[in-house]
Amino acid sequence: MEHKKTAGHLAALLTIVIWGTTFISTKILLVDFPPVEILFFRFVMGFLVLLMAYPKQLKTADHKQELTFAAAGLWGICFYYLLENIALTFTLASNVGVIISVAPFFTAILSHLFMKSEEKLRAQFFVGFVVAMVGIILISFNGSKLELNPMGDLLAVAAALVWACYSILTRKIGSFGYPVLLSTRRTFFYGILFMIPALFFFDFRLDLSRFANMTYLFNILYLGLGASALCFVTWNFAVKKLGAVKTSVYIYMVPVITVVTSVLILHEQLTVLAGIGTVLTLIGLFLSEYKPERKGAKNGFTE
């Protein structure tokens, strides 16, 4: 049992290290690709890779299970990534990376509301939430001008809430007992299906000649093969082994990875306010999760 949990932690860690840098790849592609095109290309690529890796068909037990897969595709693939990618067109990659890290708050709240096994949320959880939100407000200020431009940041907060919904659905899907590759592929299928209407709304262009640019090609492969095909499998595996809340705690690492890589690769400036906001957000996240050791009690939330 212990080795299964270790495998779950390693899978979650690998996923977050890769996901922490996807904001950079997306930001680079946004120069020549609208958000919906990046989304469509990466998940079609991910779906095809998963199909080749495990070509067996998934037969669900009933319509309720199928609806759960459809909901996961709608929230975790279509809505979340549309919100995230559009947010990146309005604000810095480092901002989005930090703000997305509030997803564990929303996951814990939803788990408490909809999963009977979860324990009561402590006062410390809400203190941490307030501290993190203050940090996010500081991050939203645009440098020394103190000019608040909340559109991208609000979209990132909405994306974090949507990801929490996806995490709960993933936990439910994990209880079905299907192979992770098949479950992930079915979720991708519905996500792609739901994003098709958005292709027409956002003026989608199937112009593959743009990938003659090796920078674009490398980044779309990184998103499609690594961040989508590989990472969704490893993330869903981690959720299945550790639970939705414990796995979501790894999202706390995203802002650190994203901020550092944004400064090094995109040469984004880390202003004093943004730096203070990042530290406050991380402190708030830590406060919300931290629990002193008690005999006979588990650390974190009960799964």
* pLDDT, averaged across the chain: 80
Q: Which residue has the higher pLDDT, 235 or 219?
A: 219
Q: Is the pLDDT of residue 20 over 50?
A: yes
Query: What pTM did the predictor assign?
Result: 0.75
Q: Which of 30, 146, 46 is nearest to 96 (CA)?
A: 30
Q: Is the pLDDT of residue 208 over 80?
A: yes
Q: Which residue has the higher pLDDT, 261 or 182?
A: 182
Q: Which of 22, 30, 87 is nearest to 221 (CA)?
A: 22
Q: What pLDDT, on the 0 to 100 scale, is given for residue 247?
A: 75
pLDDT tens figures, 59-78: 888 899 999 999 999 999 89
Amino acid at the residue 103: A
Q: What pLDDT, on the 0 to 100 scale, is given for residue 295?
A: 46
pLDDT tens figures, 138-188: 766 645 444 445 788 889 889 999 988 998 898 889 889 898 889 989 999
Cβ contact 100:154 at 8 Å: no
Q: What pLDDT, on the 0 to 100 scale, is given for residue 303?
A: 31
pLDDT confidence of 301, banded at 50, 70, 90? very low
pLDDT tens figures, 191-205: 999 999 888 887 788
Q: What pLDDT, on the 0 to 100 scale, is given for residue 148?
A: 45
Q: Is the pLDDT of residue 219 over 50?
A: yes
102-121: average pLDDT: 73
For the ranges 58-62, 238-242, 295-299, the lowest mean pLDDT is seen at: 295-299
Cβ contact 276:132 at 8 Å: no
251-256: average pLDDT: 71
For the ranges 7-16, 65-74, 202-211, the lowest mean pLDDT is seen at: 202-211
Q: What pLDDT, on the 0 to 100 scale, is given for residue 300?
A: 35
Can you list the pairs that 70-73 forms with residues at least 24 positions away whose Cβ atoms lie under 8 Å?
70/190, 71/169, 72/166, 72/169, 72/170, 72/173, 72/187, 72/190, 73/186, 73/187, 73/188, 73/189, 73/190, 73/191, 73/192, 73/193, 73/194
Q: What pLDDT, on the 0 to 100 scale, is given for residue 141?
A: 62
For the ranges 116-130, 147-161, 237-251, the lowest mean pLDDT is seen at: 116-130
Q: What pLDDT, on the 0 to 100 scale, is given for residue 296?
A: 44
Q: Is the pLDDT of residue 298 over 60?
A: no
